């Protein structure tokens, strides 16, 4: 995903939470800001996933829109959909059979 220009954001954290962020950063050999960006991005992706999947099921989003909202590539959203049991093809076998019968 291509990122736009970064903007500075200030936040306040409890000391214990900041210790955990610093530990995360240290384990990944990252600076604190990078670690916070990674954690926010992953947390947001996780939190949005169920809402995006529900919107896909209800046909309120396209696959491309879902991928964009989750910050993943098109092929990745297809994988996520498969894991969640969401099919790109929503036509039932009965609907296919009826269409075939009416066409031929």
29 phi and psi, to 5 degrees?
55, 45
Q: What is the pLDDT of residue 104?
A: 67
Q: In sequence order, which ranges of 7-104 are alpha helices (DSSP H)?
A: 15-27, 32-57, 63-70, 74-83, 93-103
Q: What is the pLDDT of residue 46?
A: 87
pTM for the complete prediction? 0.60
pLDDT tens across 15-74, in order?
Answer: 999 999 999 999 999 999 999 999 998 898 888 898 999 999 888 999 999 999 988 898
Identify the band that residue 90 occupies on the pLDDT scale cut at 50, 70 and 90: low
Mapped onto helix, strand or coil, the DSSP state of residue 31 is: coil
Mean pLDDT computed over 7-18: 94
Domains of the chain, by residue range, sit at: 15-103
């Amino acid at each position: 995903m291509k990122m736009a220009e970064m903007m500075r954001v200030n936040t306040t954290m409890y000391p214990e939470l900041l210790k955990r962020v610093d530990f995360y950063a240290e384990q990944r050999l990252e600076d604190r800001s990078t670690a916070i960006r990674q954690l926010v991005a992953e947390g947001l992706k996780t939190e949005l996933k169920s809402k995006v999947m529900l919107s896909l099921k209800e046909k309120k989003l396209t696959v491309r829109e879902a991928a964009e909202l989750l910050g993943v590539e098109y092929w990745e959203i297809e994988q996520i959909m498969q894991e969640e049991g969401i099919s790109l093809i929503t036509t039932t076998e009965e609907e296919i059979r009826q269409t075939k019968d009416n066409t031929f």
